[in-house]
Amino acid sequence: MTDPTLDPAGEMFSINDKPAYQKTAGPVGMDIGKIDAVLLSHDQHGDNLDHAGREFLKSVPKTFTTKIGAERLGGNAIGLSPWDHIVLNDEVTITSTPARHGPAGSEHLTGDVTGFIVTYADTQLYITGDTVFYDGIKEVAQKFKPEYVFIFAGAAKPRGPFSVTMSTNDAIDTAFAFPLATIIPVHFEGWSHYTETGEMLRESFAAMGIANRLNILEAGVKTAL
């Protein structure tokens, strides 16, 4: 599981003690079976780890996240720096990847974040975590050739007019950085600070002639890759 946000709709979260963004939809369901590990982009924002999500972490054997996030969470949390890798079991390896949660210079505002490459058998998945497109994404593309790239989209704007997650431009840049991958957007619904929709992504990819590269999943529906 990535970034568990399991609170019901209506929860409000603050930045600098001021209301900043609200949850507009709760989880579709929790019939998800056994979870071996949580891949947590970061712990410091409610739209990646809310109240119920924090409780959920206590039931999971391992949570992989940033170094500072693991220090804050304690318990089962394991901190990774970019390019660190962990052998989860005989089939799955997890590699931490660089991420930047906003434009250059925003790190002191948004904090450390991470993405992940998940390798199993001969397949690689790339989970970007909360990031915009920047040189760190290009480094991932140089080192790995994932078949599926899960982008944290929505052009979230909790602090003002700048995006702290991928916009449609970032999504297209990512698609061209990974020309053989299917792009699967997540983290763009259910919160008040998301400013771009799945339909905007569809229109943008179609305009660029790469509509076949985009796969928007339906919440709560198991989808075979």
Q: Is 217 exposed, middle or buried (0-12, 13-18, 19+ CB in 10 A)?
A: middle
Q: Is residue 47 within 8 Å of residue 156, measured between CB atoms?
A: yes
Whether 222 is covered by a domain: the verdict is no
Closest-CA residue to 153 (of 139, 162, 164): 164
CATH number, domain of 191, equals 3.60.15.10
Whether 220 is covered by a domain: the verdict is no
- Could you give the number of structural domains in the chain? 1
| b/e burial code for range 48-83 (CB count within 10 A of at least 16 → b) | bbbebbbebbeebebbbbbeebbeebeebbbbbebe
Whether 109 is covered by a domain: the verdict is yes
Cα separation, 167 vs 153, in Å, equals 6
Whether 3 is covered by a domain: the verdict is no
Whether 103 is covered by a domain: the verdict is yes
Whether 4 is covered by a domain: the verdict is no
Token code pair at residue 119: 């390798």
Whether 130 is covered by a domain: the verdict is yes
Token code pair at residue 161: 């007019």
Whether 217 is covered by a domain: the verdict is no
Cα separation, 214 vs 206, in Å, equals 9
Cα separation, 106 vs 62, in Å, equals 29
Cα separation, 60 vs 39, in Å, equals 11
Structural domain boundaries, residue 23: 12-212
Q: In tens digits, what is the pLDDT along the chain, a chain of 225 residues?
A: 999 999 999 989 898 888 899 999 998 877 778 899 999 999 999 999 999 999 999 999 999 999 999 999 999 999 999 999 999 988 999 999 999 999 999 999 999 999 999 999 889 999 999 999 999 999 999 999 999 999 999 999 998 899 999 999 999 999 999 999 999 999 999 999 999 999 999 999 999 999 999 999 998 888 888
